[in-house]
């Protein structure tokens, strides 16, 4: 098969790799599309150390089931030819965390697209455990299946923040995860949501989702947010993950508010401890999602909400993917979500 290989930092090449197979308990997918994630960009540049040269990345994916290996239970409902997405969190299934439904806490988990030993989704074929394959309705636009994973990240983040109808929510960052957080909050019944985003194009995209956006670059963020929400936020989600955005969250959040950290823009953050303790704020970490949340998001995406058509702004094939990564990393491509279609 053809695959996109991280040959070195800032260098992706299309190379021939052995075809994966549907071995015991596994399913083989012919990949239709895989989204370029912010973590893929950081892996491409070597910023975070969470990717390794020589690996095939990619975890926001959708495809068609090409083969089903022996030992796959019939009750999973998997059929050759069906459209399906993949939950990238491969957990053991039997530890305390997995038994409690929090497979993302599994101490021995590995993640498709992150684990360098796994040939992942920027390729023509992908083989994964059958339990990680989630069927999608054939009636939905197939590209939407590549959005399920980031949408599940945002959904989990707002659930970690216990966002509900009474809340006033500020999302810091209008990129793909910030967009997913806003949509996840809508799914939770929240109606008072605003997104802080300095990029005008991303503010327009957020507003196309039915969510007002504010520009933090001119100062006065707290007053802008309070005006947009009709009061100070009860929950702030930082979908960027830089020391500056954490500071902004503390600037805006009132006493007793909850701040959710889901953005991973930096490995280490400077946090003003007194801003947590003296104002009795709750700071919550959020990473990935539970298996139930992923499946619930897949069901929601399967209804083809109109908002999902807004999120995909560019597409490329394997041969053009290297240039797309470089442009995104250098800020030369304004697209929010770019899909790589390896079969085209």
SS (H, E, C) 123-157: ECEEEEEHHHEEECCCCCCHHHHHHHHHHHHHHHH
Shared domain check, 169 and 108: no
Q: Where does a domain end: 268, 285, 302?
A: 285
The answer to the question of residue 156 being in a domain is: no
The answer to the question of residue 73 being in a domain is: yes
Q: Cβ(294)–Cβ(90) under 8 Å?
A: no
In 3D, which of 213, 165, 202, 156 has the Cα closest to residue 186?
Answer: 165
Centroid of chain to Cα 112: 13
Shared domain check, 14 and 127: yes
Specify the pLDDT at position 131.
95
Shared domain check, 312 and 229: no
Q: Minimum mean pLDDT among 2-16, 40-54, 98-112, 162-176: which range? A: 40-54
Shared domain check, 264 and 336: no
Specify the pLDDT at position 144.
97
Model confidence at 281, in pLDDT bands (50, 70, 90)? very high
Structural domain harbouring 60 = 2-150+289-340
Specify the pLDDT at position 189.
97
Specify the pLDDT at position 218.
82
CA dist., res. 67 & res. 80, Å (int): 6
Specify the pLDDT at position 49.
79
The answer to the question of residue 188 being in a domain is: yes
Paired tokens of 267 = 């490995």
Q: Please state the rounded mean pLDDT for residues 21-44.
A: 96
Better-scored residue on pLDDT, 264 or 125: 125
Specify the pLDDT at position 267.
84
Number of domains in the chain: 2
The C-alpha torsion from 159 through 165 and 167 to 172, rounded to 10°, is 60
Shared domain check, 305 and 250: no
The answer to the question of residue 92 being in a domain is: yes
Beta bridge partners of 60: 35
CATH number for the domain harbouring residue 109: 3.90.180.10
Specify the pLDDT at position 293.
98
The answer to the question of residue 157 being in a domain is: no
Where do runs of H (alpha helix) occur along the chain?
38-45, 96-99, 148-160, 176-187, 200-208, 221-229, 243-252, 273-277, 291-302, 308-311, 318-329
pLDDT tens column, 183-195: 999 999 999 999 9
pLDDT tens column, 92-118: 999 999 999 999 999 999 999 999 999
Paired tokens of 149 = 């994973």
Say whether pLDDT at 35 is over 90: yes
CATH number for the domain harbouring residue 226: 3.40.50.720
3-state secondary structure 32-43: EEEECCHHHHHH
Q: Please state the rounded mean pLDDT for residues 174-182.
A: 97
Specify the pLDDT at position 303.
96
Shared domain check, 252 and 299: no
CA dist., res. 163 & res. 174, Å (int): 18
Q: Minimum mean pLDDT among 112-126, 173-187, 262-276: which range? A: 262-276
Model confidence at 47, in pLDDT bands (50, 70, 90)? confident
Shared domain check, 318 and 252: no
Specify the pLDDT at position 266.
85
Shared domain check, 329 and 225: no
Shared domain check, 311 and 293: yes
The answer to the question of residue 155 being in a domain is: no
Shared domain check, 141 and 28: yes
Say whether pLDDT at 265 is over 90: no
Model confidence at 68, in pLDDT bands (50, 70, 90)? very high
Q: Where does a domain end: 285, 314, 329?
A: 285
Shared domain check, 178 and 96: no
Shared domain check, 294 and 277: no
Specify the pLDDT at position 311.
96
Average pLDDT, the chain: 95
Model confidence at 18, in pLDDT bands (50, 70, 90)? very high
CA dist., res. 141 & res. 187, Å (int): 20
CB neighbour list of residue 313: distance below 8 Å, 6 or more residues apart: 205, 334, 335, 336, 337, 338
Q: Where does a domain end: 285, 302, 324?
A: 285
Q: Please state the rounded mean pLDDT for residues 185-210.
A: 96
Specify the pLDDT at position 184.
98
The answer to the question of residue 241 being in a domain is: yes
Specify the pLDDT at position 157.
98
Q: Give phi and psi for 13, each to the nearest 5.
A: -130, 150
The answer to the question of residue 15 being in a domain is: yes
């Amino acid at each position: 098969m053809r695959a996109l290989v991280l040959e070195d930092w800032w260098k992706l090449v299309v190379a021939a790799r052995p075809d994966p197979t549907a071995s015991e308990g596994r399913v083989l997918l012919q990949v239709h599309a895989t989204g370029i994630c912010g973590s893929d960009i950081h892996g491409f540049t070597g910023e975070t150390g969470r990717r390794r040269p020589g690996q095939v990345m990619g975890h926001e994916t959708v495809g068609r089931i090409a083969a089903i290996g022996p030992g796959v239970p019939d009750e999973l409902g998997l059929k050759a030819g069906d459209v399906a997405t993949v939950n990238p969190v491969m957990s053991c299934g039997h530890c305390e965390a997995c038994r409690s439904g929090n497979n993302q806490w599994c101490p021995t988990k590995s993640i498709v697209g992150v684990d360098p030993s796994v040939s992942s989704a920027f390729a023509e074929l992908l083989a994964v455990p059958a339990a990680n394959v989630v069927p999608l309705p054939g009636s939905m636009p197939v590209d939407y299946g590549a959005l399920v994973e980031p949408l599940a990240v945002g959904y989990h983040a707002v659930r970690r923040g216990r966002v509900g109808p009474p809340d006033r929510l500020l999302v810091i960052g209008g990129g793909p995860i910030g967009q997913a957080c806003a949509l996840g909050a809508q799914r939770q019944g929240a109606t008072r949501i605003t997104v802080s985003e300095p990029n005008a194009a991303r503010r327009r995209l957020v507003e196309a989702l039915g969510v007002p956006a504010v520009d933090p670059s001119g100062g006065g963020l707290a007053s802008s947010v309070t005006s947009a929400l009709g009061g100070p936020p009860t929950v702030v989600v930082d979908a960027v993950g830089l020391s500056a955005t954490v500071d902004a969250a503390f600037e805006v959040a009132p006493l007793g508010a909850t701040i959710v950290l889901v953005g991973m823009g930096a490995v280490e953050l400077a946090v003003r401890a007194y801003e947590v303790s003296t104002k009795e704020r709750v700071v919550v970490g959020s990473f990935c999602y539970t298996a139930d949340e992923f499946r619930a998001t897949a069901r929601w995406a399967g209804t083809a909400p109109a908002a999902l058509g807004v999120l995909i702004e560019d597409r490329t094939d394997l041969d053009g993917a290297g240039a797309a990564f470089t442009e995104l990393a250098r800020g030369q491509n304004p697209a929010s979500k770019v899909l790589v279609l390896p079969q085209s």
